[in-house]
Amino acid sequence: MSFPSDIFSRMFTDKNTQLLYPKEDVLAHDTEDIVQTNIFNVMLNRRSQRKFENKHVEEWKLEMVFAAADTAPTAGGFQGFEIYHIKNEEIKTKLVEAANNQPYVHAPIVLVFCMNPKRIKLNFPPDTIRKFSQQDATLAAAYSQLAAHALGLSSIWIGMFDEIKIKEILGIDLSPSSILCLGYPVKMLVPKPKRNLKDLIHEI
């Protein structure tokens, strides 16, 4: 197996040790095709998906999603966020209730992105550090979402939830910023029209 020479090379250890990621062999051409994907094509065609197939998501694809999150820009490079990969079906069901009873939260892959301001070693007021941490977690989730689409998966971003319930369900003291649900779509959806750039951009 050849090692990708791009940013995803961090998924591997050196050649003399065992693989960290992925946990299964992947054909080199599969990863090469993915990492050469046109980012503009990914962004233009991504669409939120609420119906997923009951189909296993390959471990190596999930690991590439994680690797993408790891490349996201963060305040001072301190990566003030954590990702919780929810595998327990019972916990997924509880998350549905905590997320305003949105049933699609119980997806094949459920990732909870949380803020961890303690990781950010910068000399700023606590409120500023918390804002940095929220931005870090949000960017990591966004990078993950784009990577998932490049891998042939679909996603839905969940922002409506009870933070306290999420923390209780997961048994953590970190505040969640978003839940990202991933899986193979029942059908690929056509992107909705967006605003004209002349209406979006304001020159001052």
| 61-92 confidence digits (pLDDT tens) | 999 999 999 999 999 999 999 999 999 999 99
Read off the pLDDT band of 1 (50, 70, 90).
very low
pLDDT at 19 over 60: no
Residue 88: what residue type?
N
Q: Provide the edge-to-edge strand list for the sheet that holds 81-86.
A: 81-86, 109-115, 176-183, 154-158
Integer Cα distance of 66 and 204 in angstroms: 38
Q: Above 50 in pLDDT, residue 7?
A: no
Would the pLDDT of 179 be above 70? yes
For residue 170, pLDDT over 80 is answered with yes
Q: How many CB atoms lie within 10 A of CB 109?
A: 21
Q: How far apart are CA 177 and CA 112, in angstroms?
A: 8
Q: Report DSSP letters for 133-188, one per residue.
A: HHHHHHHHHHHHHHHHHHTT-EEEEE----HHHHHHHHT--SPEEEEEEEE-BSSP
Residue 119 confidence (pLDDT) above 80: yes
Q: Give the three-state DSSP class for 30.
A: helix
pLDDT (average), residues 145-150: 92
Query: What's the gap between Cα 126 and its chain centre?
Result: 26
Cα angle: 89, vertex 155, 50; to 5 degrees: 75
Looking at mean pLDDT, say which of 50-59, 167-176, 182-191 comes out highest.
167-176
* pLDDT value of position 5: 44
d(CA 122, CA 119): 9
